[in-house]
Amino acid sequence: MELKDFKRRDVGSAYIFLKTEATPTDGWQAFKRFVKRTLKGELFVGLWIVLREMIRFDIHTLQYPLEKIEMSPRYRAIHRLLRLFESGSERCIGCGLCEKICISNCIRMDTHVDEKSRKVVSEYSINFGRCIFCGYCAEVCPELAIVHGAEYENAGEQRAHFGLKEDMLTPLDTFKAKQQKEFQGFGALSANADENVKQTPLAY
Amino acid sequence: MFDTAVIIETVVKAVIVVAVIAALAGFATFIERKVLAFMQRRLGPMHVGPYGLLQLAADGIKLFTKEDIIPQNAIKPIFMIAPVIAATTAFVAMAAVPYFPEFTLFGYTIHPIISDINVALLYVMGVASVGIYGPLLAGMSSANKWSLLGAARAVVQMLSFEVVSGLSVLAPIMMIGSLSLIDINDAQTGGIGDWLIWKQPLAFVLFAIAGFMETNRAPFDTVEFEAEIVAGYATEYSGMRWGLFFIGEYANMITISVLVSIIFMGGYNAFWFIPGGLMMLLKVSFWIFLFLWVRAAWPHVRPDQLMWVCWKVLMPLSVVNIVITGFALL
Q: Which of B42, B293, B313 sits opposite A50 (nearest CB)?
A: B293
In the predicted model, is pLDDT for residue A65 greater than 90?
no
ipTM for the whole complex: 0.77
Quote the domain boundaries for residue A22. Answer: 16-56
Domain total in chain B: 1
In the predicted model, is pLDDT for residue A201 greater than 80?
no
User: Per the domain annotation, does A44 fall within a domain?
Assistant: yes
Which chain B residue shows the shortest CA-CA distance from A58?
B41
Regarding whether A153 and A113 lie in a shared domain, the answer is yes
Quote the domain boundaries for residue B120. Answer: 68-329
Q: If chain B, 330 residues long, is cut into consecutive pieces of 10 residues, what is the mean pLDDT of each piece?
A: 78 87 86 91 86 86 88 88 89 84 74 80 87 87 88 87 88 86 80 79 89 84 80 84 87 88 81 78 90 89 87 90 88
Instruction: Mark which residues 125-164 of A lie under 8 Å from B by CB.
Output: none
In chain A, which residue ranges form alpha helices assigned H by DSSP? 3-7, 27-39, 42-56, 97-101, 136-140, 165-168, 172-176
Domain total in chain A: 2
Is residue B100 within 8 A of residue B118, CB to CB? The reply is no
What pLDDT was estimated at residue A104?
92
What pLDDT was estimated at residue B2?
65
* DSSP state letter for A38: H
Regarding whether A42 and A116 lie in a shared domain, the answer is no
**Residue A119: beta bridge partners?**
A113
Chain A within 8 Å of B35 (Cβ-Cβ)? yes
**C-alpha torsion angle, residues B87, B19, B249, B204 (rounded to 10):** -120
More confident residue, A114 or B225: A114
Which chain B residues are Cβ-neighbours of A27 within 8 angstroms?
none
Reading phi first (left if > 0) and then psi (alpha if -120 to 50, else beta), residue A68 is in: beta
Regarding whether A41 and A91 lie in a shared domain, the answer is no
Q: How far apart are CA B50 and CA B81, in angstroms?
A: 37
Regarding whether A85 and A52 lie in a shared domain, the answer is no
User: Per-residue confidence at A101, pLDDT binned at 50, 70, 90?
Assistant: very high
What pLDDT was estimated at residue A70?
85
User: Per the domain annotation, does B166 fall within a domain?
Assistant: yes
What pLDDT was estimated at residue A38?
76
Chain A within 8 Å of B40 (Cβ-Cβ)? yes
